[in-house]
Structure 1
Amino acid sequence: MDFNQIYTYLSDHKDVAIPILFAVIFITVAFAAYYFSSKQKVKRILSKLPEKRISSLKTNEFSRITGKALHVKEPLIAPFSKRKCVFYVLKIEQEKGGKNKSWETLAKDEKVQEFFIEKNTDFVIVRPTQNPKNYLSHLVVDKNINSGTFNNPTKEFNQLLKKYNIESTGLFNLNKTLKCTEAIIEIGEQITVAGIAKFKSLKEPIEGYNYSKIAELESSKTQKLIITDLPNIKSKKRL
Protein backbone atom coordinates (compact mmCIF):
# COMPACT_ATOMS: atom_id res chain seq x y z
CA MET A 1 0.00 0.00 0.00
CA ASP A 2 1.56 3.34 -1.13
CA PHE A 3 1.07 6.80 0.42
CA ASN A 4 -1.86 7.73 -1.87
CA GLN A 5 -3.71 4.56 -0.92
CA ILE A 6 -3.11 5.22 2.79
CA TYR A 7 -4.29 8.85 2.40
CA THR A 8 -7.43 7.72 0.55
CA TYR A 9 -8.19 5.09 3.17
CA LEU A 10 -7.79 7.54 6.05
CA SER A 11 -9.88 10.17 4.25
CA ASP A 12 -12.69 7.66 3.88
CA HIS A 13 -12.38 6.52 7.49
CA LYS A 14 -12.03 9.73 9.50
CA ASP A 15 -13.41 8.04 12.60
CA VAL A 16 -10.28 5.86 12.56
CA ALA A 17 -7.85 8.46 11.20
CA ILE A 18 -8.19 11.01 14.02
CA PRO A 19 -7.37 8.59 16.88
CA ILE A 20 -4.45 7.22 14.83
CA LEU A 21 -3.16 10.76 14.25
CA PHE A 22 -3.30 11.59 17.96
CA ALA A 23 -1.59 8.30 18.81
CA VAL A 24 1.22 9.00 16.33
CA ILE A 25 1.68 12.53 17.72
CA PHE A 26 1.76 11.21 21.32
CA ILE A 27 4.30 8.50 20.49
CA THR A 28 6.48 10.98 18.56
CA VAL A 29 6.48 13.52 21.40
CA ALA A 30 7.17 10.83 24.02
CA PHE A 31 10.05 9.39 21.98
CA ALA A 32 11.56 12.85 21.38
CA ALA A 33 11.35 13.67 25.12
CA TYR A 34 13.12 10.40 25.92
CA TYR A 35 15.74 10.58 23.15
CA PHE A 36 16.72 14.20 23.82
CA SER A 37 16.67 13.96 27.63
CA SER A 38 19.91 14.84 29.40
CA LYS A 39 20.27 11.24 30.59
CA GLN A 40 20.13 9.76 27.11
CA LYS A 41 22.37 12.45 25.59
CA VAL A 42 25.00 11.83 28.29
CA LYS A 43 24.81 8.05 27.79
CA ARG A 44 25.11 8.34 23.99
CA ILE A 45 28.20 10.56 24.21
CA LEU A 46 29.95 8.46 26.85
CA SER A 47 29.19 5.17 25.11
CA LYS A 48 31.28 6.38 22.15
CA LEU A 49 34.34 6.94 24.35
CA PRO A 50 36.62 4.27 25.82
CA GLU A 51 37.31 4.60 29.53
CA LYS A 52 40.91 5.77 29.98
CA ARG A 53 43.47 5.74 32.75
CA ILE A 54 44.46 9.21 33.95
CA SER A 55 48.10 8.37 33.25
CA SER A 56 47.28 7.64 29.60
CA LEU A 57 45.54 10.95 28.81
CA LYS A 58 46.77 12.75 25.69
CA THR A 59 46.71 16.54 25.22
CA ASN A 60 43.67 17.84 23.29
CA GLU A 61 42.01 14.42 23.19
CA PHE A 62 38.34 14.19 24.20
CA SER A 63 38.58 11.58 26.95
CA ARG A 64 36.44 9.75 29.48
CA ILE A 65 37.57 9.15 33.08
CA THR A 66 35.82 7.30 35.92
CA GLY A 67 36.94 7.71 39.52
CA LYS A 68 36.20 9.21 42.95
CA ALA A 69 35.01 12.81 43.20
CA LEU A 70 37.07 14.85 45.68
CA HIS A 71 36.72 18.49 46.68
CA VAL A 72 39.30 21.13 45.75
CA LYS A 73 37.98 23.68 48.25
CA GLU A 74 35.34 23.75 51.00
CA PRO A 75 32.59 21.38 49.77
CA LEU A 76 29.05 22.45 48.95
CA ILE A 77 26.27 21.41 51.35
CA ALA A 78 23.22 19.80 49.75
CA PRO A 79 20.07 21.85 50.63
CA PHE A 80 17.91 18.99 51.92
CA SER A 81 20.18 16.10 52.95
CA LYS A 82 22.94 18.43 54.23
CA ARG A 83 25.60 16.12 52.79
CA LYS A 84 28.95 17.42 51.60
CA CYS A 85 29.19 17.43 47.83
CA VAL A 86 30.73 19.09 44.78
CA PHE A 87 27.52 19.25 42.73
CA TYR A 88 23.82 19.31 43.59
CA VAL A 89 20.54 19.80 41.75
CA LEU A 90 17.37 20.39 43.76
CA LYS A 91 13.92 20.84 42.24
CA ILE A 92 10.58 21.58 43.94
CA GLU A 93 7.37 21.08 41.93
CA GLN A 94 3.63 21.45 42.51
CA GLU A 95 0.95 19.33 40.92
CA LYS A 96 -1.57 21.39 38.98
CA GLY A 97 -5.14 20.09 38.69
CA GLY A 98 -7.53 20.11 35.79
CA LYS A 99 -8.32 17.48 33.21
CA ASN A 100 -4.67 16.89 32.36
CA LYS A 101 -2.62 17.04 35.54
CA SER A 102 0.90 18.38 35.27
CA TRP A 103 3.79 19.52 37.45
CA GLU A 104 4.89 23.14 37.70
CA THR A 105 8.46 23.88 38.80
CA LEU A 106 8.41 26.27 41.76
CA ALA A 107 12.16 26.29 42.45
CA LYS A 108 15.29 24.85 40.93
CA ASP A 109 18.65 25.21 42.62
CA GLU A 110 21.76 23.92 40.86
CA LYS A 111 25.30 24.48 42.12
CA VAL A 112 28.63 22.99 41.08
CA GLN A 113 32.25 23.70 41.95
CA GLU A 114 35.63 22.59 40.66
CA PHE A 115 36.64 19.10 41.80
CA PHE A 116 39.22 16.36 41.47
CA ILE A 117 38.71 12.87 40.13
CA GLU A 118 41.05 10.37 41.75
CA LYS A 119 41.80 6.91 40.43
CA ASN A 120 44.69 4.68 41.48
CA THR A 121 46.42 7.66 43.20
CA ASP A 122 46.31 9.70 39.97
CA PHE A 123 44.35 12.95 39.86
CA VAL A 124 42.56 14.97 37.19
CA ILE A 125 40.86 18.31 37.85
CA VAL A 126 37.51 19.44 36.40
CA ARG A 127 36.31 23.06 36.43
CA PRO A 128 32.61 23.29 35.51
CA THR A 129 31.10 26.78 35.21
CA GLN A 130 27.44 27.78 35.28
CA ASN A 131 27.68 31.16 33.56
CA PRO A 132 28.35 30.44 30.79
CA LYS A 133 27.39 26.81 31.32
CA ASN A 134 30.21 24.66 30.00
CA TYR A 135 28.86 21.23 30.90
CA LEU A 136 26.10 18.72 30.16
CA SER A 137 25.14 16.63 33.17
CA HIS A 138 22.79 14.02 34.52
CA LEU A 139 22.75 13.20 38.24
CA VAL A 140 20.90 10.26 39.76
CA VAL A 141 18.21 11.42 42.20
CA ASP A 142 19.21 10.52 45.77
CA LYS A 143 16.28 11.98 47.73
CA ASN A 144 12.54 12.19 47.03
CA ILE A 145 10.27 14.19 49.35
CA ASN A 146 6.55 14.87 48.88
CA SER A 147 3.44 16.18 50.58
CA GLY A 148 -0.24 16.31 49.73
CA THR A 149 -3.79 16.69 50.98
CA PHE A 150 -3.49 13.80 53.46
CA ASN A 151 0.28 13.87 53.71
CA ASN A 152 1.68 16.68 55.82
CA PRO A 153 5.17 17.90 54.96
CA THR A 154 7.84 16.84 57.43
CA LYS A 155 9.61 19.39 59.58
CA GLU A 156 12.67 19.14 57.31
CA PHE A 157 10.57 19.59 54.16
CA ASN A 158 8.84 22.63 55.68
CA GLN A 159 12.20 24.19 56.47
CA LEU A 160 13.30 23.60 52.90
CA LEU A 161 10.10 25.17 51.52
CA LYS A 162 10.60 28.24 53.70
CA LYS A 163 14.16 28.59 52.41
CA TYR A 164 12.76 28.91 48.87
CA ASN A 165 9.74 31.04 49.95
CA ILE A 166 7.19 28.36 49.07
CA GLU A 167 3.94 27.95 51.03
CA SER A 168 3.01 24.34 51.84
CA THR A 169 -0.74 25.11 52.01
CA GLY A 170 -3.16 26.77 49.63
CA LEU A 171 -6.91 27.40 49.42
CA PHE A 172 -8.82 26.60 52.67
CA ASN A 173 -5.41 25.91 54.28
CA LEU A 174 -5.21 22.52 52.53
CA ASN A 175 -1.81 21.00 51.84
CA LYS A 176 -0.51 21.56 48.35
CA THR A 177 0.63 18.51 46.42
CA LEU A 178 4.36 19.10 46.31
CA LYS A 179 7.37 17.01 45.48
CA CYS A 180 11.08 17.66 45.79
CA THR A 181 14.00 15.81 44.27
CA GLU A 182 17.65 16.19 45.23
CA ALA A 183 20.56 14.76 43.25
CA ILE A 184 24.17 15.21 44.31
CA ILE A 185 27.73 14.17 43.64
CA GLU A 186 28.91 13.34 47.13
CA ILE A 187 32.53 13.51 48.26
CA GLY A 188 34.12 10.13 47.46
CA GLU A 189 31.34 9.10 45.05
CA GLN A 190 32.24 7.21 41.88
CA ILE A 191 31.50 9.39 38.85
CA THR A 192 32.32 9.65 35.14
CA VAL A 193 33.51 12.82 33.41
CA ALA A 194 34.50 13.45 29.81
CA GLY A 195 36.38 16.48 28.51
CA ILE A 196 39.31 17.67 26.46
CA ALA A 197 42.55 16.72 28.18
CA LYS A 198 45.09 19.42 29.05
CA PHE A 199 48.07 19.49 31.38
CA LYS A 200 48.51 22.38 33.83
CA SER A 201 51.18 23.39 36.33
CA LEU A 202 50.08 22.66 39.88
CA LYS A 203 50.00 25.84 41.99
CA GLU A 204 49.45 24.07 45.30
CA PRO A 205 50.54 20.54 46.29
CA ILE A 206 47.97 17.75 46.58
CA GLU A 207 48.41 15.30 49.42
CA GLY A 208 49.58 11.96 48.01
CA TYR A 209 50.35 13.46 44.58
CA ASN A 210 54.05 13.97 43.81
CA TYR A 211 54.01 15.68 40.41
CA SER A 212 54.28 19.35 39.46
CA LYS A 213 51.67 19.11 36.67
CA ILE A 214 48.13 17.84 36.72
CA ALA A 215 45.74 16.71 34.01
CA GLU A 216 42.61 18.78 33.50
CA LEU A 217 39.44 17.96 31.57
CA GLU A 218 38.15 21.08 29.81
CA SER A 219 35.31 22.19 27.58
CA SER A 220 35.61 24.00 24.24
CA LYS A 221 33.36 26.13 22.04
CA THR A 222 31.99 22.99 20.39
CA GLN A 223 32.30 20.40 23.15
CA LYS A 224 30.93 20.67 26.67
CA LEU A 225 32.17 18.74 29.69
CA ILE A 226 30.09 15.64 30.40
CA ILE A 227 29.42 14.92 34.10
CA THR A 228 27.37 12.07 35.55
CA ASP A 229 27.13 9.61 38.42
CA LEU A 230 25.20 7.10 36.32
CA PRO A 231 26.73 3.65 36.94
CA ASN A 232 27.82 1.05 34.38
CA ILE A 233 27.77 3.08 31.16
CA LYS A 234 29.20 0.63 28.67
CA SER A 235 31.60 1.83 25.99
CA LYS A 236 31.19 0.73 22.38
CA LYS A 237 34.87 1.45 21.81
CA ARG A 238 37.92 -0.37 23.13
CA LEU A 239 41.35 1.03 23.85
Structure 2
Amino acid sequence: MMLANNTADVIFPVLIITGFIIFGYCTYYFGRKQTILRQLKKFQFKSIPQFRYNDLTKITGKVLHAHEPFVAPFSKRKCVAYLFKIQQKVGSGKHSRWKTIVEQEDIQDFFIEENGEVVMIKPVKVPKNYFNYLDEDNSISSGFLNDPSPEFKKVLKHYNINSENYFGFNKTLRYSERILEVGETVTVAGIAKWKSIKEPIEGYNYSKIAALENNDSQKLIITDLPEARKSRWNY
Protein backbone atom coordinates (compact mmCIF):
# COMPACT_ATOMS: atom_id res chain seq x y z
CA MET A 1 0.00 0.00 0.00
CA MET A 2 2.84 2.34 0.94
CA LEU A 3 4.61 1.58 -2.40
CA ALA A 4 1.48 2.44 -4.37
CA ASN A 5 1.18 5.80 -2.58
CA ASN A 6 4.85 6.61 -3.22
CA THR A 7 4.46 5.72 -6.90
CA ALA A 8 1.43 7.99 -7.21
CA ASP A 9 3.33 10.80 -5.49
CA VAL A 10 6.01 10.54 -8.19
CA ILE A 11 3.77 9.95 -11.24
CA PHE A 12 1.35 12.85 -10.73
CA PRO A 13 4.04 15.60 -10.67
CA VAL A 14 5.74 14.01 -13.70
CA LEU A 15 2.43 13.98 -15.61
CA ILE A 16 1.80 17.63 -14.73
CA ILE A 17 5.28 18.70 -15.82
CA THR A 18 4.99 16.63 -19.02
CA GLY A 19 1.63 18.25 -19.74
CA PHE A 20 3.13 21.75 -19.40
CA ILE A 21 6.02 20.79 -21.71
CA ILE A 22 3.66 19.39 -24.35
CA PHE A 23 1.40 22.44 -24.11
CA GLY A 24 4.36 24.82 -24.44
CA TYR A 25 5.75 22.94 -27.44
CA CYS A 26 2.36 22.86 -29.20
CA THR A 27 1.87 26.58 -28.56
CA TYR A 28 5.29 27.27 -30.11
CA TYR A 29 5.01 24.80 -33.01
CA PHE A 30 1.50 25.76 -34.08
CA GLY A 31 1.98 29.48 -33.41
CA ARG A 32 1.64 31.92 -36.29
CA LYS A 33 5.39 32.54 -36.61
CA GLN A 34 6.47 28.90 -36.87
CA THR A 35 3.49 28.04 -39.07
CA ILE A 36 4.45 30.68 -41.63
CA LEU A 37 8.11 29.56 -41.64
CA ARG A 38 7.03 25.95 -42.26
CA GLN A 39 4.72 26.97 -45.09
CA LEU A 40 7.49 28.92 -46.79
CA LYS A 41 9.60 25.76 -47.12
CA LYS A 42 7.45 24.42 -49.97
CA PHE A 43 8.31 27.47 -52.12
CA GLN A 44 11.54 27.96 -54.08
CA PHE A 45 13.54 31.18 -54.11
CA LYS A 46 13.81 32.55 -57.65
CA SER A 47 15.10 35.80 -59.07
CA ILE A 48 12.45 37.79 -60.92
CA PRO A 49 13.72 36.97 -64.46
CA GLN A 50 13.50 33.26 -63.51
CA PHE A 51 9.78 33.40 -62.70
CA ARG A 52 7.89 30.56 -64.40
CA TYR A 53 4.15 30.82 -64.83
CA ASN A 54 2.15 29.12 -62.01
CA ASP A 55 5.24 27.93 -60.07
CA LEU A 56 5.26 28.12 -56.27
CA THR A 57 7.79 30.93 -55.89
CA LYS A 58 9.18 33.13 -53.12
CA ILE A 59 11.37 36.19 -53.21
CA THR A 60 13.15 38.47 -50.76
CA GLY A 61 13.57 42.13 -51.59
CA LYS A 62 12.90 45.75 -50.69
CA VAL A 63 9.36 47.09 -50.17
CA LEU A 64 8.29 49.82 -52.61
CA HIS A 65 4.91 51.54 -52.28
CA ALA A 66 2.45 51.50 -55.17
CA HIS A 67 0.12 54.12 -53.64
CA GLU A 68 0.35 56.79 -50.97
CA PRO A 69 1.70 54.78 -48.02
CA PHE A 70 0.07 54.53 -44.61
CA VAL A 71 1.58 56.37 -41.64
CA ALA A 72 1.91 54.20 -38.51
CA PRO A 73 0.01 55.72 -35.53
CA PHE A 74 2.88 55.68 -33.02
CA SER A 75 6.18 55.57 -34.93
CA LYS A 76 4.85 57.80 -37.76
CA ARG A 77 6.81 55.69 -40.26
CA LYS A 78 5.53 55.20 -43.80
CA CYS A 79 4.40 51.64 -44.44
CA VAL A 80 2.32 49.43 -46.75
CA ALA A 81 0.90 47.28 -43.93
CA TYR A 82 0.34 47.68 -40.21
CA LEU A 83 -1.24 46.00 -37.23
CA PHE A 84 -1.54 47.72 -33.87
CA LYS A 85 -3.28 47.03 -30.58
CA ILE A 86 -4.10 49.09 -27.51
CA GLN A 87 -4.82 46.92 -24.48
CA GLN A 88 -5.75 47.54 -20.84
CA LYS A 89 -4.98 45.24 -17.94
CA VAL A 90 -8.17 44.45 -16.06
CA GLY A 91 -8.69 42.48 -12.85
CA SER A 92 -5.96 41.73 -10.36
CA GLY A 93 -3.69 38.90 -9.29
CA LYS A 94 -4.35 35.54 -10.92
CA HIS A 95 -7.57 36.86 -12.43
CA SER A 96 -5.94 39.73 -14.35
CA ARG A 97 -5.99 39.74 -18.15
CA TRP A 98 -5.29 42.07 -21.06
CA LYS A 99 -8.44 43.45 -22.66
CA THR A 100 -8.08 44.72 -26.23
CA ILE A 101 -9.57 48.21 -26.55
CA VAL A 102 -8.50 49.02 -30.11
CA GLU A 103 -7.13 46.70 -32.79
CA GLN A 104 -6.62 47.79 -36.38
CA GLU A 105 -4.96 46.17 -39.39
CA ASP A 106 -4.60 47.35 -42.96
CA ILE A 107 -2.55 46.50 -46.05
CA GLN A 108 -2.24 47.85 -49.58
CA ASP A 109 -0.75 46.83 -52.93
CA PHE A 110 3.04 47.11 -53.08
CA PHE A 111 6.10 46.16 -55.10
CA ILE A 112 9.20 44.20 -54.15
CA GLU A 113 12.47 45.35 -55.72
CA GLU A 114 15.34 42.92 -56.25
CA ASN A 115 18.46 43.84 -58.24
CA GLY A 116 16.64 46.56 -60.16
CA GLU A 117 13.66 44.33 -61.06
CA VAL A 118 10.22 44.57 -59.45
CA VAL A 119 7.42 42.14 -58.65
CA MET A 120 3.85 43.19 -57.94
CA ILE A 121 1.98 42.06 -54.80
CA LYS A 122 -1.78 42.62 -54.45
CA PRO A 123 -3.07 41.54 -51.03
CA VAL A 124 -6.85 41.63 -50.53
CA LYS A 125 -8.52 41.92 -47.12
CA VAL A 126 -12.03 40.63 -48.04
CA PRO A 127 -12.00 37.79 -48.79
CA LYS A 128 -8.52 37.58 -47.29
CA ASN A 129 -6.05 36.21 -49.85
CA TYR A 130 -2.89 36.34 -47.70
CA PHE A 131 -1.36 34.94 -44.52
CA ASN A 132 1.11 37.27 -42.85
CA TYR A 133 3.38 37.63 -39.85
CA LEU A 134 5.14 40.89 -39.01
CA ASP A 135 7.73 41.35 -36.28
CA GLU A 136 6.80 43.73 -33.47
CA ASP A 137 8.44 47.08 -34.22
CA ASN A 138 7.28 49.21 -31.31
CA SER A 139 5.73 48.66 -27.89
CA ILE A 140 5.08 51.05 -25.03
CA SER A 141 3.15 50.87 -21.78
CA SER A 142 1.92 52.96 -18.88
CA GLY A 143 0.67 52.21 -15.39
CA PHE A 144 1.13 52.92 -11.71
CA LEU A 145 4.10 55.32 -11.30
CA ASN A 146 4.64 55.06 -15.08
CA ASP A 147 3.07 57.98 -16.94
CA PRO A 148 2.36 57.54 -20.66
CA SER A 149 4.87 59.29 -22.89
CA PRO A 150 3.72 62.34 -24.89
CA GLU A 151 3.67 60.18 -28.06
CA PHE A 152 1.59 57.51 -26.34
CA LYS A 153 -0.80 60.17 -25.00
CA LYS A 154 -1.38 61.45 -28.54
CA VAL A 155 -2.31 57.95 -29.74
CA LEU A 156 -4.64 57.43 -26.75
CA LYS A 157 -6.28 60.82 -27.30
CA HIS A 158 -6.83 60.04 -31.00
CA TYR A 159 -8.84 56.95 -29.99
CA ASN A 160 -10.62 58.72 -27.11
CA ILE A 161 -8.93 56.60 -24.44
CA ASN A 162 -8.41 58.16 -21.02
CA SER A 163 -5.06 57.14 -19.50
CA GLU A 164 -6.35 57.68 -15.94
CA ASN A 165 -9.09 56.05 -13.87
CA TYR A 166 -11.77 57.77 -11.76
CA PHE A 167 -9.32 58.30 -8.90
CA GLY A 168 -6.66 59.98 -11.07
CA PHE A 169 -4.30 56.98 -11.14
CA ASN A 170 -2.76 55.74 -14.37
CA LYS A 171 -4.49 52.84 -16.02
CA THR A 172 -2.26 49.91 -16.95
CA LEU A 173 -2.16 50.24 -20.73
CA ARG A 174 0.08 48.93 -23.47
CA TYR A 175 0.47 49.54 -27.19
CA SER A 176 2.10 47.28 -29.78
CA GLU A 177 2.80 48.09 -33.42
CA ARG A 178 3.82 45.85 -36.31
CA ILE A 179 4.46 47.42 -39.71
CA LEU A 180 5.82 46.64 -43.14
CA GLU A 181 7.82 49.78 -43.73
CA VAL A 182 8.65 51.29 -47.12
CA GLY A 183 12.26 50.29 -47.85
CA GLU A 184 12.16 47.33 -45.44
CA THR A 185 13.27 43.83 -46.47
CA VAL A 186 10.34 41.46 -46.95
CA THR A 187 9.83 37.87 -48.08
CA VAL A 188 6.71 37.03 -50.09
CA ALA A 189 5.61 33.67 -51.50
CA GLY A 190 2.86 32.90 -53.97
CA ILE A 191 1.98 31.72 -57.47
CA ALA A 192 4.28 33.25 -60.10
CA LYS A 193 2.58 35.19 -62.90
CA TRP A 194 3.46 37.61 -65.66
CA LYS A 195 0.90 40.40 -66.07
CA SER A 196 0.34 42.79 -68.98
CA ILE A 197 0.59 46.42 -67.93
CA LYS A 198 -2.52 48.41 -68.85
CA GLU A 199 -1.39 51.66 -67.27
CA PRO A 200 2.22 52.95 -67.20
CA ILE A 201 4.17 52.47 -63.96
CA GLU A 202 6.55 55.27 -63.07
CA GLY A 203 10.16 54.16 -63.58
CA TYR A 204 9.14 50.89 -65.28
CA ASN A 205 9.45 50.63 -69.06
CA TYR A 206 8.35 47.05 -69.84
CA SER A 207 4.98 45.83 -71.18
CA LYS A 208 4.75 42.99 -68.63
CA ILE A 209 5.47 42.77 -64.93
CA ALA A 210 6.13 39.82 -62.65
CA ALA A 211 3.57 39.18 -59.91
CA LEU A 212 2.98 36.79 -57.04
CA GLU A 213 -0.68 35.88 -56.57
CA ASN A 214 -2.91 33.47 -54.69
CA ASN A 215 -5.29 30.79 -55.93
CA ASP A 216 -8.12 28.75 -54.37
CA SER A 217 -5.73 26.47 -52.48
CA GLN A 218 -2.78 28.78 -51.82
CA LYS A 219 -2.72 32.17 -50.14
CA LEU A 220 0.02 34.75 -50.46
CA ILE A 221 2.53 34.55 -47.61
CA ILE A 222 4.01 37.84 -46.41
CA THR A 223 6.59 38.26 -43.65
CA ASP A 224 9.48 40.44 -42.55
CA LEU A 225 11.02 37.69 -40.40
CA PRO A 226 14.83 37.56 -40.84
CA GLU A 227 14.62 33.73 -40.69
CA ALA A 228 12.59 33.75 -43.91
CA ARG A 229 15.01 35.79 -45.99
CA LYS A 230 17.02 34.56 -48.92
CA SER A 231 20.66 33.87 -48.08
CA ARG A 232 23.62 32.92 -50.22
CA TRP A 233 22.70 29.25 -49.58
CA ASN A 234 19.19 29.60 -51.11
CA TYR A 235 19.11 29.00 -54.84
Q: Is the 8 A contact 2:60 2:230 kept in 1?
A: no
Partner of 1:184: 179
Q: Deviations over 1:72-109 (max 9, x none)?
A: 11111111111111011111222342225432322211
TM-score by length of 1: 0.87
Q: Is the 8 A contact 1:147 1:179 kept in 2?
A: yes
Partner of 2:102: 107
Q: Is the 8 A contact 2:60 2:229 kept in 1?
A: no
Partner of 1:220: 215
Partner of 2:134: 139
Q: How does 1:55-74 map to 2 (within 5 A)?
A: 55-74=49-68
- Alpha-carbon distance in 2 for matches of 1:92, 1:11: 50
Structure 1 residue identity aligned to 2:100: T
Q: Deviations over 1:177-226 (max 9, x none)?
A: 21111111111111110011112111222233221111111112211111
Secondary structure of the 2:54 match is: coil
Secondary structure of the 1:99 match is: helix
Q: How does 1:29-178 map to 2 (within 5 A)?
A: 29-96=23-90, 97-99=92-94, 101-170=96-165, 172-178=167-173
- Alpha-carbon distance in 1 for matches of 2:160, 2:4: 53
Structure 1 residue identity aligned to 2:61: G
Q: Is the 8 A contact 1:50 1:235 kept in 2?
A: no
Q: Is the 8 A contact 2:57 2:191 kept in 1?
A: yes
Q: How many residues align?
A: 231
Which consecutive residues of structure 1, in runs of 5 or more, have no partner in the other structure? 1-8
Structure 2 residue identity aligned to 1:130: K
Secondary structure of the 1:42 match is: helix
TM-score by length of 2: 0.89
Cα gap change, 1:43 to 1:117, in 2 (>3 Å):
same
Q: Deviations over 1:102-131 (max 9, x none)?
A: 323222111100101111121111111111
**Runs of 4+ off more than 6 Å:** 9-12, 234-237
* Larger deviation, residues 225-234 vs 138-147: 225-234
Q: Is the 8 A contact 1:147 1:178 kept in 2?
A: yes
How far did 1:143 drift? 1.0
- Alpha-carbon distance in 2 for matches of 1:105, 1:141: 17
How far did 1:228 drift? 0.8
Q: CA RMSD for the aligned pairs? A: 2.3
Q: Is the 8 A contact 2:187 2:229 kept in 1?
A: no
Structure 2 residue identity aligned to 1:27: I
Match of residue 11, structure 2, among 6, 14, 17: 17
Which consecutive residues of structure 2, in runs of 5 or more, have no partner in the other structure? none
- Alpha-carbon distance in 1 for matches of 2:209, 2:88: 45
Secondary structure of the 1:173 match is: coil
- Alpha-carbon distance in 2 for matches of 1:153, 1:55: 50
- Alpha-carbon distance in 2 for matches of 1:24, 1:94: 33
Partner of 2:203: 208
Q: Is the 8 A contact 1:92 1:179 kept in 2?
A: yes
